[in-house]
Amino acid sequence: MRHKYFVSSALIVGVVALIVHKRFIVVTVVGNSMRPTFRSGDRVLVRRIRATAVRRGDVVVAEQPHLFDNEEQEPNNSDANKELTRDGYPRSHAGSYQATTERVWTIKRIVAVPGDLVPAGLAPALSGLAGDLVPPDRLILLGDNKKASFDSRRFGFIPSRYVLGVVVRKIGFDSRPRASNQPSHKRMAKILDAPS
């Protein structure tokens, strides 16, 4: 009888561990873009969610779009900026985004979701769009530390499908921060590539 109880308990613990392992991940923050909320080395618990479940004000871990060619290029302030490409990026930035096989993760706060008004002061990437609506399936992400953040002011709208999950809470500090915002667990690549 004790053996059956032990096997049943072990099975239940295994199933719960598997569910938690697929639903939650631990990420180490690298950089100062979210100071004072998070500092480099902070470890945060992230809950994977569907992109449609995010809300304004959520702090999320998302795949960062990559700029190439002339990163310092400033878009002009003409009405052409109000036209968006099929992917929801300002027309002035068409062709300045690069598809890559290497994922770079960023931690930022959502300041606008689809249907919200584009806030003012998001130059250069979203200049000329203030007051327009955020397109469907697009988000605006900003770092809490404006001076040290590479965010929607530089890369524009971000596809909502790039969101990995929402930060649930800070869980500790890693005194050995990684070179980039990469997951702190070796098996993370498998989790990130697994279907949600």
How do residues 146-186 score in pLDDT, each as one tens digit?
999 999 999 999 999 999 999 999 998 877 655 554 444 43
How do residues 96-107 score in pLDDT, each as one tens digit?
444 445 788 999
Domain 25-193 sits in which CATH superfamily? Umud Fragment, subunit A (2.10.109.10)
Helix, strand, coil percentages in the chain from 3-state DSSP, rounded to 5: 25, 25, 50
The Cα 191–Cα 196 span in angstroms is 9
User: ∠ CA 89-127-147 to the nearest 5 degrees?
Assistant: 100
- Indicate the pLDDT class of residue 114, thresholds 50, 70 and 90: very high
What are the domain boundaries of the chain?
25-193
Q: Tell me: pLDDT of 128 over 60.
A: yes
Torsion on CA atoms 84, 88, 91, 94, rounded to nearest 10:
-150
**Amino acid 10: pLDDT:** 62
How do residues 73-113 score in pLDDT, each as one tens digit?
333 333 434 454 444 444 444 444 444 457 889 999 999 99
154, 67 contact by CB (below 8 A): yes
Distances (CA, A) of 27 to 8, 66, 73, 127, 171: 32, 20, 32, 32, 10
3-state secondary structure of 153: helix
**Amino acid 65: pLDDT:** 84
**Amino acid 9: pLDDT:** 67
Of 66, 134, 60, 121, the closest CA to residue 98 belongs to: 66
